[in-house]
Every structure is written in C-alpha cells, then in structure tokens.
Amino acid sequence: MKRIALLFFSMLVMNLCFAGQAVNEGKESPVKHLTKVEFMNKVYNYEKNPDKWVYEGNKPAIVDFYATWCGPCKAIAPVLEELAKEYEGRIVIYKIDTDKERELASAFGISSIPTLLFIPAKGDPQVAQGALPKESLKRAIEDFLLGNK
C-alpha cells in the first residue's frame, strides 16, 4: 500500500512540474536575450562609436549582465520578467549571458554580476550592481527611464 501511495505521489509531483512547462511552451519571454551582434544593433555599437554613447534603440531599456550559475542573477530573473510584462511597450529588458558573451562583458568592464545597465531613450546610461529589490527597480524605471518624477 505504501508503494502505491508513493508511486501516486511521485506521479502527481511530476504532473505538476511538467504542467507548468506545458503552459509556458510557445509563450515568448518578454525579456530578450542578446548576442554581441544583436546588442550592437539594438543597444550600442561600441565599435562604431568607441568614444561616445549612441543608443540604437527607441525605447528606454535595461540590460541585465548575468551568468546561469549566479544565485543573485537567478533571484532577479523572475522580477525582470514581471517588470518586462508590466512595462511592455514602454521599456525593453535585455539579458546578456556573460559566459557566452565575454567580449561584451569585457567591453563594459563587468566584474560583478548581476550588473544592470539602465538606458534612457536620450542621455547617458547608469549602472547598478547586485540583485536590486523590485521596488528599487520600479523606482529606477519610473524616475530615470520614464522621467515620471
């Protein structure tokens, strides 16, 4: 009897785990993962403009420099997903995997992760390090990126 109950419980847990994946299949994340080439086309072409910041986008953005093995990076990822949905159409959130895009990480002097680059539509970007709480991120979006002081 215990084996049947254990088997039933195991099947239930597996169904719950895979059901969540099935719900998310086919849904594109609002957070966009970028390669170096995409970054240079959508955010900043540092090879073409090495001495001057020239933003290539038309909406304010956040770029999250992260690594898959980083605990704080994993903690902030769902928060950035929520914010990307909440501010959809007003800002763009990008992610750069520093292990895959070492040249980008080096170009920006990324030595600590997560590092967030806040980019207003006009003006110079600002950098923040660490897994900031959601309220701090919202304040930066509202005040710095959207100018709603």
**Can you give the pLDDT at residue 28?**
75
- Whether 7 maps to a domain, the answer reads no
Distance CA(45)–CA(82), nearest Å, equals 28
Instruction: Tell me: pLDDT of 16 over 80.
Output: no
- Whether 14 maps to a domain, the answer reads no
Average pLDDT over residues 116-120: 97
The whole model's pTM is what?
A: 0.80
pLDDT > 70 fraction of the chain, expressed in percent and rounded: 81
Instruction: Tell me: pLDDT of 13 over 50.
Output: no
Q: pLDDT tens across 59-74, in order?
A: 999 999 999 999 999 9
Hey, which residues are catalytic here?
70, 73
Sheet holding 126-129, edge to edge: 31-33, 92-97, 61-66, 115-119, 126-129
Q: pLDDT tens across 119-140, in order?
A: 999 999 999 999 999 999 999 9
More confident call, 28 vs 117: 117
**Can you give the pLDDT at residue 20?**
38
- Whether 24 maps to a domain, the answer reads no
- Which CATH number is 48's domain given? 3.40.30.10
- Whether 6 maps to a domain, the answer reads no
Contact 104, 36 (CB under 8 A): yes
**Can you give the pLDDT at residue 27?**
60
Q: Are strands 92-97 and 115-119 parallel, antiparallel or unpaired?
A: unpaired
Q: Write the CB contacts of 65 (distance below 8 Å, at least 6 apart in sequence).
A: 96, 98, 104, 105, 108, 110, 113, 114, 115, 116, 117
More confident call, 27 vs 57: 57
> What's the total number of domains in the chain?
1
Maximum distance among all alpha carbons in the chain?
A: 72
- Whether 119 maps to a domain, the answer reads yes
- Whether 79 maps to a domain, the answer reads yes
Q: pLDDT tens across 89-103, in order?
A: 999 999 999 999 999
**Can you give the pLDDT at residue 51?**
92
**Can you give the pLDDT at residue 26?**
46
- Whether 74 maps to a domain, the answer reads yes
Range of the domain at 88: 29-145
- Whether 3 maps to a domain, the answer reads no
